[in-house]
Structure 1
Amino acid sequence: MDGETGGNKEQILEKYNFWFLDKNNQCDLVRVEKAIRLVKNGKVTRFISTSKAREQFYLKLGEFMNQIPVFGHYSSIYGGLTSLYLQIF
């Protein structure tokens, strides 16, 4: 969810039925039980956010670059593009 919520993770968690607090900030056991059922039945919504897709792209690109002869050897030693991406973004 990081990078995709606009700073409001509560709304996103509630949207996917994983916000467990009621209006008094007390644990709502009905919500917890519903989430457990969703997980057990494999009904949890799965999505790839734009930030996650970008991260996966750079990781795959880094893996590819590490396979290039000579360059890949030194790239993998120093962490290459993958390391740079994960440190910046």
Structure 2
Amino acid sequence: MFELTGFQRDLLYVIAGAERPSGQEIKEMISKDVGEVNHGRLYPNLDALVEQGYVNKGQHDRRTNFYEMSEKGRESILDRRAWEDRRVSFLK
């Protein structure tokens, strides 16, 4: 997961916390946390997560795609959280 940008990691966490969100739903969720996100930033980053195997992409209907965590994405979040726990000493 270290090869991902911070924004891509944030997208991964948003997707992990939702059930098959559409791109628009992801945009709305992440915008609440980081401020307005435009389509030109969102979709290329979602595509990168799909291409790298962190996220699976499917279709709700002809016009709406959904995104869901892949096994690699789930494992990467668990590994990242374990790494963070080892590095953040004041929480111990």
TM-score by shorter chain over 0.5? no
Which protein is bigger by CA-based radius of gyration? Answer: 1
More RCO (CA 8 Å, sep 6+): 2
